[in-house]
């Protein structure tokens, strides 16, 4: 097991990464001052891990209230958040800890937000069960739910008490979801570490085959980079925005196609290709660099072409993204592979070419099948 | 004008107190980095001050989107909060500042919560228009909305950029609301400053007559005490709970009778009498002290008797309050007048006597008329 520490002005928490951590309840117990916890999970994860965790906790007299929500991004709604509140309020107050076993970021984002708001802040614990959640969404305290007008529009910065990333849980992960998680892993290489990018090129097959050492290193390096950035800029007033590489385009895809049509990681993957293409159009990286990005993303089993939303809808959807400031869309682009920067606005000609060019495919072909 | 400063680990903001501040837009402008603002207010305040403020801001090319919500505690709901989000999202994103002109704490609590959650945090400004909001709810960053299971159950700690308390705005305040604000003013005397309590006894008539100097002093002293406590304990892990004097009982009254039947300040007033009576039952203060509390509260035009909710409902409602920890209700009581303490739990005999005794009146007599 590796433990990273994330230190912020008013909190500090460990991120444990390793095999078989779900059964090591001693990692959880210090964060449950009161032996009552609501475990929030979804219909996919509950049959796999809920009873196992519940039994382990029962051995230490921890009373568990399971809250099982439907699976998928389209369920990250105010209604399901309200369902947290109702079910939590129904037991007892201040006797309140939240833990979640998210499959992907959905349950984690929503539970984090519910925990942030419930009585102005209930302690919560992240036990991510997908690669995407382990490398990205469970770390750093971004919580949110979706709104018809934009993804993650309603949310809070709210940090967990501990993150427990058990790589063994990924064994039951469908290939498509493993790939979706690799999109965020590739993101870290692209945005800030060229040597990690090369490492990924060398180990992509090992990662897809779930080689334990390769997985642990990829998760560790991703969490290290995320922790490092979050420590410098918790509330995203500056460099934290770099973590949004591929996300401005990606969120537009997710909102444009309807939440759940593409997985978040898939949308980010295609979005990173667009960001790379835009960076090439700006003359910062070469066509070969773009090809290198496409090749790695493609090898990870991810889409490299975005759906054809039409230029007008693309711009409209990106204009609704949170990363817009004073009406100018702030793109995260690449000055080089392994070096992302924030670019306020892009020439209209570049955007039009990009959003009608070879990185776009007709919408009817773009709905991905699992 | 007096300016107090509230300094917290990751923010700092001014509280301006004085006459005619609404027209001094230079107090607002530095906090509007983007010249667009949603002004959230209610149907009562809008006709009084909205156009005036909008006009002043227009002189400085600030574009105003008014969001006018219904008046009263029973409207502090998830639905009205959602209405903020929808209307705000409809203009444009990151071009987002919230300001509010609350009449009472309702709009301020709700707008603060909406601002806290909107894109994980939009800047907001408090321009309280009632005494209660000027002395209490606009300062310190507690924001929340109500839930059927308890008052302020869903919320956030989220600080404004500036608080502007214009005492002139109180001229249009109904007497009943002025009294409700005085409940919170009296609270500060009771919980931490015996000499301020004496000052209030000497100046109650001047306050009710809205003597400008008396008002300004009362607001200043209340805000000073609140700022001092909040600076020591922003997230209410310790002494901030003292500010809840009268509130555990008061919230039970509000929830028990239905939000809006009693004003918040009225419920707190009757709640402070119960807290004083409980303190006397513990042998900490004398029957004369309780009488002194009752007399001052009564002179302020406030109720000193609580409605008869029945002992079972009282305990049930107080058990749902946020101030419950590990199943024990944490009461704020008085070791002396001017010295509040936190008392975990009270003997059942004391509670029963208290909640059936002379400080309780039959419910049918208790619905207050404005």
The enclosing domain of B44 has a CATH number of: 3.40.50.1970
How do strand A324-325 and strand B2-8 relate by DSSP bridges?
unpaired
Q: Which pLDDT score, from 0 to 100, does residue B191 have? A: 97
Assess whether B130 and B184 both reside in one domain: no
CB A329 within 8 A of CB A323: yes
Assess whether B237 and B342 both reside in one domain: yes
Q: Which pLDDT score, from 0 to 100, does residue A68 have? A: 83
Confidence check: pLDDT of A24 > 80 = yes
Q: Decide which of A329 and A307 is more confident.
A: A307
The model's pLDDT over B59-104, given as tens digits with 9 standing for 90+, comes to 999 888 888 877 776 777 777 676 666 555 433 333 345 666 555 5
Q: Report the gap between the CA of B58 and the closest CA in chain A (Å).
A: 18
Q: Decide which of A6 and B122 is more confident.
A: A6
CB B23 within 8 A of CB B52: yes
Q: Which pLDDT score, from 0 to 100, does residue B322 have? A: 58
Task: Output the CA–CA distances (angstroms, integers) from residue B309 to A353, B213, B314, B317, in the order listed.
Answer: 69, 40, 6, 10
Number of domains in chain B: 2
Assess whether A109 and A202 both reside in one domain: no
What percent of chain B shows pLDDT beyond 70?
87
Among A165-169, A173-177, B185-189, top mean pLDDT goes to: B185-189
CA dihedral B286, B287, B292, B296 (to 10 degrees): 120
Assess whether B222 and B99 both reside in one domain: no
Q: What is the phi-psi region of residue B189: left when phi exceeds 0, alpha when psi lies from -120 to 50, beta otherwise?
A: alpha
DSSP state letter for A34? S
- CA-closest candidate to residue A270, choices A225, A300, A241, A243: A300
The answer to whether the Cβ–Cβ distance between B321 and A93 falls below 8 Å is yes
The answer to whether the Cβ–Cβ distance between B94 and A324 falls below 8 Å is yes
pLDDT band at A97 (very low <50, low <70, confident <90, very high): low
Taking residues A238-261, report their average pLDDT. 91
Confidence check: pLDDT of B39 > 80 = yes
The model's pLDDT over B11-36, given as tens digits with 9 standing for 90+, comes to 899 999 999 999 999 998 998 877 88
- Best residue of A32, A98, A117 to probe chain B, by most B CBs closer than 10 Å: A117
Taking residues A206-219, report their average pLDDT. 96
- CA-closest candidate to residue B155, choices A96, A150, A236, A122: A122
CA dihedral B69, A153, B141, B78 (to 10 degrees): 40
CA dihedral B201, B205, B211, B214 (to 10 degrees): 0
Assess whether A223 and A282 both reside in one domain: yes
Q: Provide, as residue numbers in chain A, all residues whose Cβ is less than 8 Å from the Cβ of B81.
A: none
Q: Decide which of A138, A172, A206 is a domain's last residue.
A: A172
CB B52 within 8 A of CB B22: yes
Give the list of residues 6+ apart from residue B295 with CB closer than 8 angstroms, or none: none
The model's pLDDT over B255-291, given as tens digits with 9 standing for 90+, comes to 899 877 899 999 999 999 999 999 999 999 999 999 9
Q: Which pLDDT score, from 0 to 100, does residue B95 have? A: 37
Assess whether A67 and A190 both reside in one domain: no
Q: Which two tokens stand for residue B163?
A: 């608080």
- CA-closest candidate to residue B31, choices B163, B220, B167, B224: B163
Assess whether A42 and A160 both reside in one domain: yes
Q: Decide which of B172, B204, B230 is a domain's last residue.
A: B172
Q: Which pLDDT score, from 0 to 100, does residue A366 have? A: 46
The answer to whether the Cβ–Cβ distance between B85 and A153 falls below 8 Å is yes
The answer to whether the Cβ–Cβ distance between A116 and B156 falls below 8 Å is yes
The model's pLDDT over A52-94, given as tens digits with 9 standing for 90+, comes to 998 999 999 988 888 887 777 677 777 767 666 655 543 333 3
Q: Decide which of B154, B172, B190 is a domain's last residue.
A: B172
Taking residues A268-285, report their average pLDDT. 97
The position carrying tokens 């939240």 is A98
Range of the domain at A136: 2-172
- CA-closest candidate to residue B266, choices B249, B242, B281: B249
pLDDT band at A367 (very low <50, low <70, confident <90, very high): very low
pLDDT band at B367 (very low <50, low <70, confident <90, very high): very low
Q: Provide, as residue numbers in chain A, all residues whose Cβ is less than 8 Å from the Cβ of B9.
A: 9-10
Confidence check: pLDDT of B159 > 90 = yes
A236 in active site? yes
Q: Is residue B74 annotated as involved in ligand binding? A: yes
Q: Which pLDDT score, from 0 to 100, does residue A64 have? A: 85
Residues of B tagged active-site: 120, 142, 184, 226, 236, 240, 244, 247, 251, 264
Nearest CA in chain B to A150: B89
Assess whether B84 and B195 both reside in one domain: no
Assess whether A126 and A210 both reside in one domain: no
Task: Output the CA–CA distances (angstroms, integers) from residue B284 to A2, B242, B333, B348, in the order listed.
Answer: 54, 16, 9, 18
Map residue A143 onto helix, strand or coil.
strand
Q: Which pLDDT score, from 0 to 100, does residue B45 have? A: 85
Confidence check: pLDDT of B319 > 90 = no
Q: Decide which of B195 and A260 is more confident.
A: B195
Assess whether B59 and B124 both reside in one domain: yes
Which one of the listed residues A31, A247, A305, A330 is annotated catalytic? A247
The CATH number of the domain where B337 resides is what? 1.20.1090.10
The answer to whether the Cβ–Cβ distance between A327 and B153 falls below 8 Å is no
Average pLDDT, chain B: 87
ipTM above 0.90, yes or no: no
Q: Which pLDDT score, from 0 to 100, does residue B146 have? A: 77
Q: Which pLDDT score, from 0 to 100, does residue A247 have? A: 94
| Of the candidate ranges A84-93, A102-111, B295-304, B353-362, the one whose mean pLDDT is the lowest | A84-93
Q: Decide which of A125 and B333 is more confident.
A: B333
CB A294 within 8 A of CB A306: no
The model's pLDDT over B5-16, given as tens digits with 9 standing for 90+, comes to 999 988 899 999
- CA-closest candidate to residue B240, choices B8, B15, B17: B8
Assess whether A167 and A182 both reside in one domain: no
Interatomic CA distance for residues A307 and A368, integer angstroms: 10
Assess whether A110 and A200 both reside in one domain: no
Q: Which pLDDT score, from 0 to 100, does residue A326 have? A: 56
Confidence check: pLDDT of B368 > 60 = no
Average pLDDT, chain A: 87
Confidence check: pLDDT of A29 > 70 = yes
Confidence check: pLDDT of B294 > 60 = yes
């Amino acid at each position: 097991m590796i433990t990273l520490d994330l230190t912020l002005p008013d909190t500090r928490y460990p991120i444990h990464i390793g095999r078989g951590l779900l059964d090591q309840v001693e990692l959880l117990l210090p964060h449950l001052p009161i032996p009552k916890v609501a475990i929030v999970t979804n219909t996919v994860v509950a049959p796999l891990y809920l009873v196992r965790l519940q039994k382990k906790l029962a051995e230490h007299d921890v009373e568990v209230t399971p809250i099982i929500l439907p699976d998928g991004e389209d369920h990250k709604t105010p209604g399901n958040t309200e369902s947290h509140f109702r079910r939590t309020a129904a037991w007892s107050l201040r006797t309140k800890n939240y833990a979640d076993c998210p499959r992907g970021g959905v349950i984690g984002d929503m539970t984090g937000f519910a925990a942030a708001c419930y009585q102005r802040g209930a302690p919560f614990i992240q036990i991510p069960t997908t690669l995407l959640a382990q490398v990205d969404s469970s770390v750093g305290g971004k919580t949110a739910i979706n709104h018809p007008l934009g993804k993650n529009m309603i949310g809070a910065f709210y940090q967990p008490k501990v993150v427990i990333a058990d790589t063994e849980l990924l064994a039951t992960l469908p290939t498509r979801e493993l790939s979706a998680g690799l999109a965020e892993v590739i993101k870290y290489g692209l945005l800030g570490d060229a040597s990690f990018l090369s490492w990924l090129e060398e180990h992509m097959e090992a990662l897809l085959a779930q080689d334990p050492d390769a997985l642990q290193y990829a998760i560790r390096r991703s969490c290290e980079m995320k922790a490092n950035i979050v420590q410098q800029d918790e509330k995203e007033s500056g460099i934290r925005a770099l973590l949004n590489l591929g996300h401005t385009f990606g969120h537009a895809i997710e909102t444009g196609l309807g939440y759940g049509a593409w997985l978040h990681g898939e949308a980010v993957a295609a979005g990173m290709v667009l960001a790379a293409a835009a960076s090439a159009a700006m003359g910062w990286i070469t066509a070969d660099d773009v090809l290198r990005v496409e090749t790695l993303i493609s090898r990870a089993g991810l889409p490299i072409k975005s759906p054809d939303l039409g230029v007008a809808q693309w711009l409209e959807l990106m204009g609704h993204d949170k990363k817009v400031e004073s009406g100018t869309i702030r793109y995260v682009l690449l000055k080089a592979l392994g070096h992302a920067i924030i670019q306020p606005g892009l020439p209209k000609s570049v955007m039009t070419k990009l959003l009608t060019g070879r990185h776009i495919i007709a919408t009817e072909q773009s709905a991905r099948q699992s």
